[in-house]
Amino acid sequence: MSDLPSRPRILLRQLHRVMAGPGRAEERLQGVVRLIAQNMVAEVCSVYLVRAGEILELFATEGLNPQAVHQTRLRFGEGLVGLVAQRGLPLRIQEAPKHPRFAYRAETGEEPYHSFLGVPIIRHGRVIGVLVVQNVKPREYTDEEEEALQTIAMVLAELIGSGELVAPEEIAEVAGPAGLPLTLDGEAMAAGLAAGRAVLHEGAIEVTRYVAEDVEQERKRLDEALAALREEIDRMLASPEMGAGGEHREVLEAYRMFAQDRGWRDRILHAIDSGLTAEAAVERVAQDNRRRMSATEDPYLRARLHDLEDLSRRLLRVLAGQPRAPRLEEDSILVARNLGPAELLDYDLTRLKGVVLEEGAPTAHVAILARAMGIPLVGRVEGAREHVEPGDLVIVDAENAHVLVRPAEEVRETYERAIAARARELESFFAERDLPSITRDGVEITLMMNAGLVNDTALLERTGAAGIGLFRTEFQFMVRSTLPRLDAQRELYARVLETAGERPVYFRTLDIGGDKVVPFLPHEREANPAMGWRAIRIALDRPVLLRYQLRALMQASAGRALRVMFPMVATVAEFRAARAIVEKEQRRFERLGIAGPERVEVGVMVEVPSLAFELRELLHEADFLSVGTNDLVQFFFAVDRTNPKLTRRYDPLSPALLRFIRRLVVTADQIGVPLTVCGEMAGRPLDALALLALGVRRLSMSPSAIGPARRMVRSIDLPRVENFILQLIDSGEREMRSTLRNFARDHGIAIGSGADFI
Ligand code: PEP
Ligand code: MG
């Protein structure tokens, strides 16, 4: 079927002829719109191009009033054409004049036209114009027509960019004012602070040849390039720094699967059959991908589409015979639209200090890797590539979720001081890692760390944490595209336990669902995912998943204690049902004579307030409690923990929440059940101080918070702190934070200088 001349293929050939033909640039552009109109059986075909100031100007038209050329202008976002440019997405409408964004321009004489199909003309990821066809009769354009128009727009983009269709001086510089300091906001996806010189990730390889001379030859080139791509990934997997396991490996393995995906190859072949070269076909499918990516909010699907984007770029490199990532100078900051996990690993990570992405998601592989490697990453930074020039000084401030571009001298110095102080501080905490975490009056506080990646466990040594108070097992499931098999799960847990040695590890069973999407469960959009089908609710409805995980945990902890807890439990009945599954597994081990744990402690996370009203029953059955303040605060104050507008609205240091936690602590103490606090609150010195005053003696926090927490513990006189804070709570004082901060300062309590309430 590849040698049947399809309609787009014929059109591409004809376009090629017009473009190579005689005449001035503008005349050729006019010839192009005429051809498209004929081919698509449309009464109108127009090209709008971007002028400075994000103005779209009509440059050529077949069908609209020719006088309107260079007269009709629209702003980005204005009218349907402006909407296409603003969103960078195609738009098809049967009844254009009825669309709320329709903007009528008398000079074009466009009243009689009903249907509208517009696609953006994109070059190097930026919209440089819009290509439109219109029909008199209301009609529905087909997917094929939209695709064909996109293919044409892509070819046009290159010709316009290279000056073949429009005089180069006519085209706008869309980039913003360079040279001035600028602060761009985004979303922190991997913590930390970094400064360095910008390196723009050359995502897109320039495609220079679009129209295929010989379709068979292009098909062959594609298959050869795909084979080379797979080999390249295999080589990366075999490289010594990949090691035997860990997340990098899992990510790349998932990645290799995509490279072998037949659907992807077929789609590219289909585009080749429509008359494109192999490169252009890869780019064409990638454009489709980008469109799907911008249309979906499903975090898992987005992450996978990003991987495909990464692969497309890599495939284009192979086709163009170009090397992989450029060499980095010392202290580089990588700026990219998006970055695939393998693309990140291509760079010299000893020189890469930070990453800025225009897109990205906290659950994307690249973010998971950046966190595992301690590279600060700020994502969702709109227009980053537009505003940053290579070599610009860039500060990645993942503490405040922004990026400072070309900062003024004083700002730069302040940050450099902060970065240096941080490094010194880290060293000083490291030096204190063996000091006991005992208050001045001799009360021992257990400081543990939260973890989720195998790499994290190495931090037990560096921080001197007493154990892992919360191991988030879902991470392993989120970076993979298939359900981790029993042996893969067991291996991971065994490695964690082995690194932990004598120190206890509290495994939390899968906390999936909500926004933590995994590929192997049907994902239905929920109106309130945080309160939806997640965590223990899924586990009880799909007990096989939980049973397998428990089996892996039990096998991994053969001969030692297993500590396991359940997330998002809302009733004692749920806890009982989950515990029964544990017991059933234990009996299975006994029956089959398999070596299992020497004992099993079964605990529960307190994240849903309802549990506090069945506390006594619960405490008679649970071996330990772990208070997850992140979710607890969310449900206690009814405040979405992911909504940036609400982040600072309800301070956990409030009489209401502290009274609630106190009630948990007192009852747990009475019944003699250990209680740990493991949410973010536990890792903020001032908040932790309040928790200690409530009687909490066990805290689990992110590894970087251990050093500051130890220093705080060692600087306090507990009875004095208790006295002050309990009285403060009883007084009903609303503004507890500043009062408490002043108290800490006055009493020489080490609360650090970092952000204490994010
Ligand atoms: C919590 O909710 O406080 C918690 C520790 O769990 P996560 O942040 O993983 O939901
Ligand atoms: Mg939680």
Question: Is the minimum distance from the CB of 534 to ligand 1 under 6 angstroms?
Answer: no
Three-state secondary-structure class, residue 377 = strand
Question: Is the minimum distance from the CB of 470 to ligand 1 under 6 angstroms?
Answer: yes
Which residue intervals of 239-347 are DSSP H helices? 247-259, 262-273, 278-295, 299-320, 341-346
Question: What is the pLDDT, as a whole number, of residue 242?
Answer: 59
> How many CA atoms lie within 13 Å of 547's alpha carbon, on the beta-carbon side?
15
Three-state secondary-structure class, residue 415 = helix
Q: Are 411 and 403 in contact (CB under 8 A)?
A: no
Question: What is the pLDDT, as a whole number, of residue 757?
Answer: 42
- Judge whether residue 471 has pLDDT over 90: yes
Q: Region 562-585: what's the mean pLDDT?
A: 98
Give the atom of ligand 1 at the shortest distance from the alpha carbon of 626.
Answer: 5
Q: What is the CA radius of gyration of the chain?
A: 30
Question: What is the pLDDT, as a whole number, of residue 236?
Answer: 75
Question: What is the pLDDT, as a whole number, of residue 708?
Answer: 92
Centre a 10 Å sphere on the Cβ of residue 243 and count the other Cβ atoms it contains. 10
Cα 604 from Cα 565, distance rounded (Å): 5
Question: Is the minimum distance from the CB of 631 to ligand 1 under 6 angstroms?
Answer: yes
pLDDT tens-digit readout, 479-535:
665 788 899 999 999 999 999 999 999 999 999 876 666 766 766 778 888 899 999
Cα 51 from Cα 66, distance rounded (Å): 19
- What residues form DSSP beta bridges with 516? 513
As a whole-number percent, the residues of the chain with pLDDT over 70 amount to 89
Percent helix, strand, coil in the chain, to 5, is 50, 15, 35
pLDDT tens-digit readout, 381-417:
988 988 888 889 999 999 888 999 998 888 888 899 9
Q: Whose CA is closest to atom 1 on ligand 1?
A: 628
Question: What is the pLDDT, as a whole number, of residue 245?
Answer: 57
Q: From the candidates 306, 365, 387, 402, give the one annotated as an active-site residue.
A: 365
Question: Is the minimum distance from the CB of 359 to ligand 1 under 6 angstroms?
Answer: no
Helices (H) and strands (E) in the chain, counts: 26, 22
Q: How far is CA 327 from CA 334, 352, 376, 646, in A?
A: 12, 10, 20, 42
Question: What is the pLDDT, as a whole number, of residue 4?
Answer: 40
Look up 387 and say whether it is catalytic. Answer: no
Q: Are 213 and 349 in contact (CB under 8 A)?
A: no
Cα(245) to centroid(ligand 1), Å: 26
Q: DSSP assignment, residue 186?
A: -
CA 298 to chain CA mean position, Å: 11
- What residues form DSSP beta bridges with 506? 563
> Considering only CA atoms, which of 751, 686, 702, 627 is closest in space to residue 190?
702
Question: What is the pLDDT, as a whole number, of residue 22?
Answer: 77
Question: What is the pLDDT, as a whole number, of residue 758?
Answer: 34
Q: How far is CA 722 from CA 150, 639, 727, in A?
A: 67, 28, 8
Q: Where are the beta strands (DSSP E) in 8-86?
A: 44-51, 55-62, 73-75
Give 658's contacts (C-beta < 8 A, 6+ positions apart). Answer: 690, 694, 725, 729, 736
Q: Sort 576 into a burial class: Cβ within 10 Å, 0-12 / 13-18 / 19+.
A: middle
Cα(674) to centroid(ligand 2), Å: 19
Cα 54 from Cα 567, distance rounded (Å): 49
- Judge whether residue 539 has pLDDT over 80: yes
Ligand 1 pocket test, candidate residues 448, 511, 512, most atoms within 8 A of CB:
511
Centre a 10 Å sphere on the Cβ of residue 374 and count the other Cβ atoms it contains. 14
Question: What is the pLDDT, as a whole number, of residue 755?
Answer: 41
For the CA of 474, the nearest ligand: 1
Question: What is the pLDDT, as a whole number, of residue 725?
Answer: 97
Question: Is the minimum distance from the CB of 472 to ligand 1 under 6 angstroms?
Answer: yes
Q: Which amino acid is at 35?
A: L
Question: What is the pLDDT, as a whole number, of residue 178?
Answer: 39
Question: Is the minimum distance from the CB of 362 to ligand 1 under 6 angstroms?
Answer: no
Question: What is the pLDDT, as a whole number, of residue 111?
Answer: 72
Cα 729 from Cα 732, distance rounded (Å): 5
Cα 756 from Cα 758, distance rounded (Å): 6
pLDDT tens-digit readout, 576-635:
999 999 999 999 999 999 999 999 999 999 999 999 999 999 999 999 999 999 899 999
Question: What is the pLDDT, as a whole number, of residue 228?
Answer: 87
Question: What is the pLDDT, as a whole number, of residue 431?
Answer: 92
pLDDT tens-digit readout, 697-719:
999 998 888 999 999 999 999 99
Cα 150 from Cα 284, distance rounded (Å): 8
Q: Whose CA is closest to atom 9 on ligand 1?
A: 472
Question: Is the minimum distance from the CB of 187 to ligand 1 under 6 angstroms?
Answer: no
pTM score, two decimals?
0.64
- Judge whether residue 464 has pLDDT over 60: yes
At 693, list the tokens: 């005053």
Question: What is the pLDDT, as a whole number, of residue 177?
Answer: 33
Question: What is the pLDDT, as a whole number, of residue 125?
Answer: 60
CATH superfamily of 432-746: Phosphoenolpyruvate-binding domains (3.20.20.60)
Q: Whose CA is closest to atom 6 on ligand 1?
A: 628
Residue with tokens 């515990």: 579
Question: What is the pLDDT, as a whole number, of residue 560?
Answer: 95
Look up 678 and say whether it is catalytic. Answer: yes
> Considering only CA atoms, which of 571, 562, 570, 682 is closest in space to residue 623?
562
Q: Which amino acid is at 239?
A: S
Residue 229's φ and ψ, nearest 5 degrees, are -65, -45
Q: Whose CA is closest to atom 3 on ligand 1?
A: 628
pLDDT tens-digit readout, 85-136:
887 788 999 888 888 888 888 888 877 788 999 999 887 666 789 999 999 8
Q: Which amino acid is at 574?
A: E
Q: Region 331-339: what's the mean pLDDT?
A: 91
pLDDT tens-digit readout, 634-669:
999 998 877 756 767 889 999 999 999 999 999 999
Q: Where is average pLDDT lowest: 170-179, 180-189, 248-257, 614-623?
A: 170-179
For the CA of 680, the nearest ligand: 1
The CB-based long-range contact list for 521-529 (8 Å cut-off, 24+ gap) reads: 523/298, 523/300, 525/298
- At 172, the pLDDT band (50, 70, 90 cuts) reads low
Cα 473 from Cα 518, distance rounded (Å): 12
* Dihedral (CA of 8, 9, 12, 14) sign: negative
Class of 208-324 in CATH: mainly alpha
Cα(608) to centroid(ligand 2), Å: 9
At 389, list the tokens: 């020039």
Cα 722 from Cα 692, distance rounded (Å): 8
- At 247, the pLDDT band (50, 70, 90 cuts) reads low
Decide yes or no: CATH 3.40.50.620 for domain 7-170: no
Domain boundaries, the chain: 7-170, 175-201+329-428, 208-324, 432-746
For the CA of 636, the nearest ligand: 1
Question: What is the pLDDT, as a whole number, of residue 531?
Answer: 92
Decide yes or no: CATH 3.40.47.10 for domain 175-201+329-428: no
Cα(457) to centroid(ligand 2), Å: 20
- Judge whether residue 175 has pLDDT over 70: no
As a whole-number percent, the residues of the chain with pLDDT over 90 amount to 47
pLDDT tens-digit readout, 11-60:
888 887 887 777 787 888 888 899 999 988 899 999 999 887 778 999 99
- At 246, the pLDDT band (50, 70, 90 cuts) reads low
Cα 422 from Cα 374, distance rounded (Å): 13
Q: CA angle 55-61-62, nearest 5°?
A: 160
Cα(630) to centroid(ligand 1), Å: 5
Cα(373) to centroid(ligand 1), Å: 22
